[in-house]
Chain A
Amino acid sequence: MSMEKLITKQHVIDFLMEAQRIIAENKDYLTQLDSAIGDADHGINIDRGFSKIIAQLDGLKEKSIGEILKSCAMILISTVGGASGPLYGTAFLSAANETAGKEVLSVEDLLNVLKSALNGIKARGKATLGEKTMVDAIEPALQAFEKELLDGNRNLTRILEIVVKAAENGAKNTIPLRATKGRASYLGNRSIGHQDPGATSSYLLFKAMYNVAVREG
């Protein structure tokens, strides 16, 4: 048995709490990004979703990782609304299906779970890389994750540090892009010069994952 750290249900719960905290902290920032190219509600909507998850967390603690993620999906789908509700909801639902029956996750499992989430988002939103969406933060982050594993890195904290950096760069790289999906796409060239709020909230969720890993060593 290696010294490799396994991800437990407690880590998942801690991640949800950290995600709620970091989203709440950045609520106004996300909404401000959305007011430039969307309908000025991204921070408000996603904060409402994660706050609802935390409010119901006590009732979820006895469930499996898969069941917890599925409940999160249902809460996000029914409370967030707009386009980000179904997108993050689908991500959590795909992640839940990938973890079904597992009590702990290895680093490979985590990558597979995140890949399922990304595939769910791409299928639901019919978006690919470079369309100024969440995909632009998540896909480079997972590419970085995969590369670390191939290079033999088994240290979750160090992997996530690199993943977060890639997600942050991905979000920043949406600034010069012209949106071709979602409501921002109607602005055409006027969407250029603004950072995508969805890519930014996706980066923040990776940041929450990293913060939990750092805190728990």
Chain B
Amino acid sequence: MKKLINNVADVVKESIEGLGLAFPELLKVSLQPRYVYRADAPVKGKVAIISGGGSGHEPMHAGFVGYGMLDAACPGEVFTSPTPDQMYEAAKMVHSDKGVLFIVKNYSGDVMNFEMAADMLKSEGIDVENVIIDDDVAVENSLYTQGRRGVGTTVLAEKICGAAAEKGYELKDLVELCRKVNSYGRSMGLALTPCTVPAAGKSTFELAEEEIELGIGIHGEPGRERIKIKSANELTELLAYPIIRDLPFEKGDRVLAFVNSMGGTPDIELFIVYRALHKILEKEGIIIERKLIGRYITSLEMQGVSITLLKLDDELVKLWDAPVRTPALRWGM
């Protein structure tokens, strides 16, 4: 294992310390328990939005703390859920009198730890709502499993709900909006290489030189199937069509197209995938109104890509375009 780390045990701590040193005007860092929060928190008269999950998916979530997005992010160990004391303390630090929205990816550990934190806060009279993101179409038999995993749509939900919170949406309206984003978003990803969790020291799975894993989650867990590598155009089709057919996205639908690097895939390849996706959507009569291309929800250094399509309406477009100022997403201000 070759990584730019000091001690395996300090990876998460030193990384969020570095984030805090780099963006003091945007955020502050608590080390005990671990959370990253807006420098100007608590923001009066605004619902606080908190997310979190295992580390290793950077910039999600700590890189999305700031104006127009998250009030706080709670990073667990690499690929391990954060514990409820983190969300509890973060919520106490950032909430004003308008309540707290937890945006939670659908992994059993995350769901339970956020629920426990919500119970603890509710017992103190703080209004908290959990919304679960489960947009991964690669999980086919969701009736017999934990259900679909939360992946790319999480980033879009955090941006859109963050903007709505700035505009003064009440907690119950934010819950409804977040559920709408989740119900309109679908994702799927693939891996060209596995990744290495620092504490494990070896790859999470093995792939032969010619193989790729189709339908991966974001923790290096196995996907739908293992296939021989194909051209970028063919691989993009293998991701795009399951997504399109699932919602389904139909002729005339307006979408946000999100092409995301799993960490190790460079922009030069991402734009080849975007080009292929653009052509597919054009052929299907689906209108790309907004796009996001880059490294936003990752699996450490994994090479691979995920595609997310989010069906848009006027409300979602307006909220997507609203100003945002975080380490990883910034426009309009």
Contact = CB atoms under 8 A, between A and B. Distances in A.
Nearest to B149: A186
25 contacts: A77-B83, A78-B85, A81-B77, A81-B80, A81-B82, A81-B113, A82-B109, A85-B113, A86-B84, A86-B112, A86-B113, A86-B116, A89-B116, A90-B116, A124-B116, A125-B108, A125-B112, A181-B146, A182-B108, A183-B107, A186-B145, A186-B217, A186-B221, A186-B222, A188-B145
B115 interface: yes
In this complex, the member of B84, B113, B145 whose beta carbon has the largest number of chain A beta carbons within 10 angstroms is B145
B231 interface: no
9 smallest A-B Cβ distances: which pairs?
Answer: A185-B145, A86-B112, A78-B85, A83-B109, A82-B109, A83-B108, A182-B108, A86-B116, A78-B83
A124 B84 CA distance: 13
Contacts of B112: 83, 86-87, 124-125
Interface in B111-159: 112-113, 115-116, 139, 141, 144-146
B182 interface: no
Interface residues of B, number: 26
In this complex, the member of B81, B84, B107, B112 whose beta carbon has the largest number of chain A beta carbons within 10 angstroms is B112
A77 B117 CA distance: 10
Interface of A: 39, 41, 77-83, 85-87, 89-90, 124-125, 178, 180-183, 185-188
B76 interface: yes
Contact of A183 (B84, B85, B108): B108
Contact of A82 (B33, B80, B139): B80
A77 B139 CA distance: 29
Interface in B174-194: none
Nearest to A179: B145
A182 B146 contact: yes
Contacts of B84: 77-78, 86, 89
Contacts of B144: 178, 180, 185, 188
A147 to B, nearest CB: 31
Interface string B82-93: 111100000000
A190 B84 CA distance: 31
Nearest to B116: A86
A181 B141 contact: no
Contacts of B217: 186
B145 A180 contact: yes
A183 B116 contact: no
Contacts of B107: 183
Contacts of B77: 81
A187 B84 CA distance: 27
A80 B108 CA distance: 14
Contacts of A124: 112, 115-116
A91 to B, nearest CB: 12
Interface string B18-39: 0000000000000001000000
Given A77-B83, A186-B146, 12 more contacts: A77-B84, A81-B113, A82-B80, A83-B81, A85-B113, A124-B115, A124-B116, A125-B108, A183-B108, A183-B146, A183-B221, A185-B146
Contacts of B221: 183, 186
A181 B139 CA distance: 14
A88 B114 CA distance: 15
In this complex, the member of A41, A80, A185 whose beta carbon has the largest number of chain B beta carbons within 10 angstroms is A185
Contacts of A82: 80-81, 109
A181 B113 CA distance: 16
B141 A81 contact: no
Contacts of B115: 86, 124
Contacts of B139: 186
Nearest to A187: B222
Contacts of B109: 81-83, 85-86, 183
Interface in B221-241: 221-222
A81 B146 contact: no
A77 B88 CA distance: 12
Nearest to B146: A185
A198 to B, nearest CB: 11
B256 to A, nearest CB: 27
A79 B76 CA distance: 11
Nearest to A90: B116
B92 to A, nearest CB: 15
A202 B115 CA distance: 22
Contacts of A181: 108, 146
A79 B84 CA distance: 10
Contacts of A89: 84, 116
A52 to B, nearest CB: 12
Given A86-B113, A89-B116, A124-B112, A79 B222 contact: no
A80 B81 CA distance: 10
